[in-house]
Structure 1
Amino acid sequence: MARQLFHFDRPRRFVAGTVGEPGDRTFFLQAADDGRIVSVALEKQQVAVLADRLEQLLDEIVTRTGTALPASEPDTEALEIPIDEEFRVSAMALAWDGDTGLVVIEAQSAAEDPEVAEETLLEDVDDGPDALRVRIEPNRARAFVQRARLVLAAGRESCPLCGQPLDPAGHICPRQNGYHRAPTPAP
């Protein structure tokens, strides 16, 4: 199948964000530049893994080059409108382009053949799953990580006993042998 590759080289904006209320949010990666906006949906856990791996990559770059990579201020604005989901992310890849000094992030849709998906990540091929590829400066990558952590923390509070998310009406805590645990009032 013909592949649609959404490529952004140093976009004006690249962020993780959500639409919806905590407990019923849809997570997106969004790149915007020169009048075009591309949004791809992904799972909350994928955002967390991307932020963790990106932070590890940046730390490794600092270790190997001995150069400090300060962060910019995280972007705290809402996602840009329209938020039209191009695809749902199935696989992601990160790379460091030492020649240009840019971080490469690719999010790819699901492929019918898992081997094809693995072969097409970070590759310029005509056939394969759709992908969003973004190349950004390291300081903007740090700012992405900071914003992703803020977005993840803005969800529902966790139960202090079991760690599962608390619904507004409370939840049935397995650590309480199935007894309904009422939410604690905010101070």
Structure 2
Amino acid sequence: MVQHVFDPPERCVAGSVGPPGQRTFFLQAGGGGRVVSVSLEKEQVRLLGESLAELLDEVGGEEGSSGSGERYADTAPLDTPIEDDFRVQRLSVAWEGERRRVVIEAFDRPEASDLLELEPDDDAEFPWSGMPPQSLRVVLAPGPARAFASRCASSLEGGRPSCPFCGQPLDPSGHICPRANGYRR
């Protein structure tokens, strides 16, 4: 297994590249002259940020309070060149009580039990076939973790505007709105 460990990282951010509607989301961690970039779905970024904020609200104490991340805020763009080391299939967020640290882990493949539930298909190839498993482990103090959660939320902003009728994202050319009985808006 190839493990990328940053305990602690010099920098840990979430961000996106591309125009609204075609953005690719990344999580980057760096330190010691190296940067690891992994690509995620927009929903994974949203859930990661929300999960971190909830975890810090529960166990972070004063150092993880909602205002504590401001002094660690990182608004700089993602480090370039941006090439993903792997595509995230599974994320986990945990609290390490003894050290009072948040642990974020990203994996390039789902749990083995999830794979067993799939229908066997001889022709199916997974993107990681023939490659060793990869993971990214980032350990953050509560203040930087709160700043990272805020960065996750802000990286989601600036997307396509929502349709005022159905709430789905609007493309520049409009969209077929289910609330308008299939007419283009």
Query: TM-score range, shorter-chain basis?
Result: 0.7 to 0.9
Distance in 2, Cα, partners of 1:142 & 1:109: 25
Q: Where does residue 119 of structure 2 map in the other structure?
A: none
Q: Where does residue 149 of structure 1 map in the other structure?
A: 153
Distance in 1, Cα, partners of 2:43 & 2:102: 21
Q: Where does residue 108 of structure 2 map in the other structure?
A: 109
Contact 2:63/2:142, CA 8 A, preserved across alignment: no
Q: Map 1:160-175; keep pairs closer than 5 Å.
A: 160-175=164-179
CA deviations over 1:97-139 (Å, ceiling 9, x no partner): 12212110000011583369xxxxxxxxxxx731000001111
Given the alignment of the two structures, is residue 94 of structure 1 paired with residue 98 of structure 2, yes or no?
A: no
When the two structures are superposed, what TM-score results if normalisation uses the length of structure 2?
A: 0.83
- Aligned-pair identity (%): 52
Distance verdict in 2 for CA 1:136–1:169, change over 3 Å: same
Secondary structure of 1:180's counterpart equals coil
Distance in 2, Cα, partners of 1:59 & 1:112: 28
Q: Map 1:17-28; keep pairs closer than 5 Å.
A: 17-28=15-26
Secondary structure of 1:41's counterpart equals strand
CA deviations over 1:37-60 (Å, ceiling 9, x no partner): 000011000001111111110011
Which blocks of at least 5 consecutive residues in structure 1 are unaligned? 117-127, 182-187
Contact 2:24/2:41, CA 8 A, preserved across alignment: yes
Q: Over the residues paired in the alignment, what is the CA RMSD in angstroms? A: 1.8
Which blocks of at least 5 consecutive residues in structure 2 are unaligned? 116-131
Contact 2:90/2:110, CA 8 A, preserved across alignment: no
Distance in 2, Cα, partners of 1:145 & 1:161: 30
When the two structures are superposed, what TM-score results if normalisation uses the length of structure 1?
A: 0.82
Q: Which runs of 4+ in 1 moved over 4 A?
A: none
